[in-house]
Amino acid sequence: MSATRVERDSLGELPVPADALYGIQTERARRNFPISHLRPLASFVDAVVQIKKAAALTHKETGRLDPKFADAIVRAADEVLGGQHRDQFVVDPYQAGAGTSHNMNANEVLANRANELLGARRGAYAPVHPNDHVNMAQSTNDVIPTAIRLAALAELTPLLDAMGRLAAAFLAKGRAFDRILKSGRTHLQDATPIRLGQEFTAYGHTVERNRDRVAGAADALRDLGIGGTAVGTGLNAEPAYPPLVVKHLRAITGLELREGRDRVQLMQSMGDAAALSGCRGR
């Protein structure tokens, strides 16, 4: 049997693999939700860790978080974003609640690694604590909706590039096939003549229009509700936090991002994500 360490929370004690960077709340979730046996998407892991990094930088800037702790959290986040410790994100994507288990998975991994960087041991959660420091001024309820937006936007550029290449290929075939005459088909029967090039050109223009539709729908995801904390009111977050964390997220992700006007709305509604999901070829 693999070596374990015993961790404690408000529900009691639980053994956690001794070499795990995650902790007891992640282990509880891992045991409670053996549903799909899938791991979270890499872009989603990145998005949550980017939020944690931006939060630590913000709290260092405002003086709320000890600079040593902030720097250690940032270093731990950079390791994950650089490709390390990816096997430590173990909570099934199908989990209860609003993503609390994944949020705590990230908090525990970054806290444990930050503590190691500061000379402490895994599982001690001192001097850096998952809730008190890594999750400072955050809630699952603003972190996860923000991460959904960031992850989708991170996938947007390669998707639009691929659609652009596909459209260009169809349009090129439209030009190449423009002299080929064929029978147009309607209701599974031959109808009136059409050039094969016209058909392929139409395919290209269809992809172009849907590319524009996807890009337009994705723009709404640039409005972030981070800083709303539990219900959107910003309880326990200083007024400077929302604009600063969005500023840092812009720098970390390279994305065009905006501070949301109504954090309550942006946190409780998945309408923007659903609108993007509904954009598909027609």
Per-residue pLDDT at 282: 54
Of 206, 210, 222, the closest CA to residue 257 belongs to 222
Q: Look at residue 281 and tell me whether its pLDDT is greater than 60.
A: no
Q: Summarize the confidence of residues 26-40 as an average pLDDT.
A: 95
Residue 272's pLDDT band (cuts 50, 70, 90): very high
pLDDT of 85 reads 98
Domain with CATH 1.10.275.10 in the chain: 4-136
Positions of E strands within the chain: 4-9, 12-17, 181-186, 189-195, 223-224, 258-259
Strand pairing class (12-17; 4-9)? antiparallel
The average pLDDT across 34-56 equals: 97
> Percentage helix, strand, coil, to 5, in the chain?
55, 10, 35
- What's the one-letter identity of residue 106? A
Q: What is the DSSP letter of 73?
A: H
User: What pLDDT score does 279 carry?
Assistant: 85
Whole-number percent of the chain with pLDDT over 90: 96
- Tokens at 30, concatenated: 């891992």
Q: What is the pLDDT of residues 242-264, one digit of tens each?
A: 999 999 999 999 999 999 999 99
Mean pLDDT of 74-89: 98
- The answer to whether residues 109 and 116 touch, using CB atoms and an 8 Å cutoff, is no
Mean pLDDT of the chain: 96
| Nearest of 111, 70, 41 to residue 244 by alpha carbon | 70
Sequence letter at residue 252: I
Locate 196 and state its tokens. 């094969």
Q: How confident is the model at residue 280 (pLDDT cuts 50, 70, 90)?
A: low
Q: Would you say 259 and 266 are in contact if contact means Cβ atoms under 8 Å apart?
A: no
Q: For the beta carbon of residue 187, count every other beta carbon within 10 angstroms.
A: 5
- Burial code of 21-49, b = ≥16 C-beta within 10 A, e = fewer? bbbbbbbbbbeeeeeeeeebeeebbbbbb
Residue count of the chain: 282
Bridge partners (DSSP) listed for residue 259 = 224
CA nearest 215: which of 256, 185, 170, 172? 256
What does the pLDDT read at residue 84? Answer: 98
Distance (Å, rounded) from C-alpha 8 to C-alpha 236? 25
Q: Is domain 4-136 annotated with CATH 1.10.275.10?
A: yes
For CATH 1.20.200.10, the residue range(s) in the chain are 144-277
Q: How many CB atoms lie within 10 A of CB 182?
A: 14
Across 191-216, average pLDDT = 97
What is the pLDDT, as a whole number, of residue 2? 75
- What pTM was computed for the model? 0.93
97: pLDDT confidence band, cut at 50, 70 and 90? confident
Give me the CATH topology for the region 144-277: Fumarase C; Chain A, domain 2 (1.20.200)
Instruction: Please report how many Cα atoms fall inside a 13 Å half-sphere around the Cα of residue 89, on the Cβ side.
Output: 26
> Which pLDDT score, from 0 to 100, does residue 146 have?
98
Over range 186-198, report the average pLDDT: 95
Q: Which two tokens stand for residue 270?
A: 């998945």
List pLDDT tens digits, range 125-155.
999 999 999 999 999 999 999 999 999 999 9
For residue 13, what are the CA distances in angstroms to 2, 16, 28?
Answer: 18, 10, 10
